[in-house]
């Protein structure tokens, strides 16, 4: 069976998460997106585990369901050097036991617990319980594994189960790093909000034998991923080297010469694009035979927002988004599958945005420094885009 799976999300108990991150909201919104399987996130938080147990029904080994949406227990842990790790857990009992064992001062406060464990120590702990583990958003400059290590084996000592690419990277970037050629890549949303412009903005199309923890574990270990769906990396908020205060894009070499200090007084953060270039073994991706296609996505609401020049959460944008979903069932259908002539009958104005997405003609102002990239149209924004890019050499 084929499923669309997003394994990395957060609950209402995580810092900076929406209070709406509840099982019932996540489940209902995931259906509108087109997802079948979700990680619960925050599965070491006692109150969230109680809510999962009270709200869902266990329908298979390690699978907890709510009104037709299936969940598997997952959590993100911040380890030594502020490195984030994603863990997939067999069942509630093991989640509770591991939560009790994990040495963390904030695990009852924050859904993403902090610990002094190294990657290797954390891997050894969870492996005793048949969990899966790998680096979360491996390349990001604040909390990604590669911001502290030049090799994944320096972090974990032995091979973890997967590598999560993160919003600012894709397969083609990661496959320039030789040591990753034997790893399964996962693409997940890391969402703190249930709304579909965040939930499922990255997901995995997986082939599994049945809906169970064992089958999901086998699929990840055997690289039975049919496709990775993920944002165009330029839209990621850490894709380019940029100032974290004014968000100006800065040439990485010039940033180094200025000790990563911006002319505005802010701190410059190294972008994922540049970090990967530092550790890359190849100038072009060298993908193994088993590597599935990486299919670039953009949130539908953000495409609508750029067409109408209104905020993503405005009534105008959300109303248009809902009308499209009412007609075509899911966001994934609208983005990828519905004939453009059918979409045009529902909303003729949005059709240029859908065509631009599908034929890759949209312009993106790259993200960096903690600010997401922006979708633009060439005829209206080309001059502004060019001005933004020239700041690379005008530090």
d(CA 58, CA 61): 8
Burial class (CB in 10 A: 0-12, 13-18, 19+), 352: middle
Q: Residue 182 CB: number of other CB atoms within 10 A?
A: 10
Nearest Cα neighbor of 33 from 191, 175, 169, 160 is 191
pLDDT band at 377 (very low <50, low <70, confident <90, very high): confident
Mean of the per-residue pLDDT values of the chain: 94
CA–CA distance, 341 with 347 (Å, rounded to integer): 10
Q: Give me the pLDDT at residue 392, please.
A: 30
pLDDT above 50 for 395: no
| pLDDT attached to residue 223 | 95
Interstrand relation of 2-6 and 37-39 (parallel, antiparallel or unpaired): parallel
CA dihedral 43, 48, 50, 53 (to 10 degrees): -60
The pLDDT tens digits for 287-304 are 999 999 999 999 999 999
Average pLDDT of the residues in 7-26:
97
Rounded average pLDDT over 357-369: 94
> Cβ–Cβ contacts within 10 Å for residue 128, how many?
10
Q: What percent of the chain has pLDDT over 90?
A: 95
Q: Domain spans of the chain?
A: 2-234, 299-358
CB environment 11-27: b (16+ within 10 A), e (fewer): bbbbeebbeebbbebbb
* Angle at alpha carbon of residue 175, lines to 172 and 181, rounded to 5°: 145
Q: State the average pLDDT over residues 333-346.
A: 97
Q: Is the pLDDT of residue 385 over 70?
A: no
Residue 353's pLDDT band (cuts 50, 70, 90): very high
Residue 376: its pLDDT value, please? 86
| Strands 163-164 and 185-186, sheet pairing | parallel
The pTM assigned to this predicted structure is 0.94
How much is the average pLDDT of 279-288? Answer: 97
Q: What pLDDT score does 126 carry?
A: 98
Residue 90 banded pLDDT, cuts 50, 70, 90: very high
Average pLDDT over residues 331-337: 97
2-234 sits in which CATH class? alpha beta
pLDDT of residue 378: 58
């Amino acid at each position: 069976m084929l499923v669309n799976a997003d394994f990395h999300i957060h609950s209402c108990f995580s810092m900076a998460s929406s209070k709406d991150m509840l099982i019932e909201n996540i489940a209902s919104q995931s259906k509108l997106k087109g997802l079948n399987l979700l990680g619960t996130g925050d599965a070491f938080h006692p109150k969230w585990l109680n809510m999962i147990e009270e709200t869902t029904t266990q329908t298979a080994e390690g699978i907890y369901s709510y009104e037709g949406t299936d969940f598997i227990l997952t959590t993100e842990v911040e380890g030594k050097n502020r490195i984030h790790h994603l863990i997939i857990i067999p069942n509630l009992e093991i989640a509770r036991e591991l939560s009790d064992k994990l040495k963390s001062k904030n695990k009852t406060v924050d859904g993403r617990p902090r610990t002094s464990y190294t990657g290797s120590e954390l891997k050894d702990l969870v492996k005793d319980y048949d969990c899966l583990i790998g680096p979360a958003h491996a390349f990001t400059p604040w909390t990604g594994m590669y911001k502290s290590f030049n090799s994944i084996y320096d972090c974990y000592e032995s091979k973890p189960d997967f590598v999560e690419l993160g919003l600012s990277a894709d397969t083609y970037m990661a496959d320039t790093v030789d040591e990753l050629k034997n790893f399964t890549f996962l693409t997940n949303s890391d969402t703190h909000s249930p709304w579909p412009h965040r939930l499922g903005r990255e997901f995995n199309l997986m082939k599994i034998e049945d809906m169970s923890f064992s089958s999901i574990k086998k699929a990840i270990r055997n690289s039975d991923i049919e496709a990775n769906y993920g944002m165009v990396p330029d839209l990621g908020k850490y894709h380019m080297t940029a100032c974290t205060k004014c968000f100006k894009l800065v040439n990485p070499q010039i940033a180094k010469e200025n000790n990563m200090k911006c002319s505005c007084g802010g701190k410059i953060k190294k972008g994922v694009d540049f970090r990967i270039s530092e550790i890359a073994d190849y100038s072009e991706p060298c993908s193994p035979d088993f590597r599935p296609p990486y299919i670039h996505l953009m949130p539908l609401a953000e495409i609508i927002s750029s067409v109408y020049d209104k905020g993503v959460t405005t009534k105008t944008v959300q109303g248009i988004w809902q009308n499209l979903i009412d007609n075509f069932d899911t966001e994934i259908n609208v983005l990828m599958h519905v004939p453009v002539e059918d979409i045009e009958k529902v909303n003729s104005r949005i059709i240029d945005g859908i065509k631009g997405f599908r034929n890759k003609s949209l312009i993106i102002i790259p993200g960096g420094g903690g600010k997401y990239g922006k979708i633009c149209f060439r005829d209206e924004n080309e001059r502004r885009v060019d001005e933004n890019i020239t700041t690379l050499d005008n530090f």
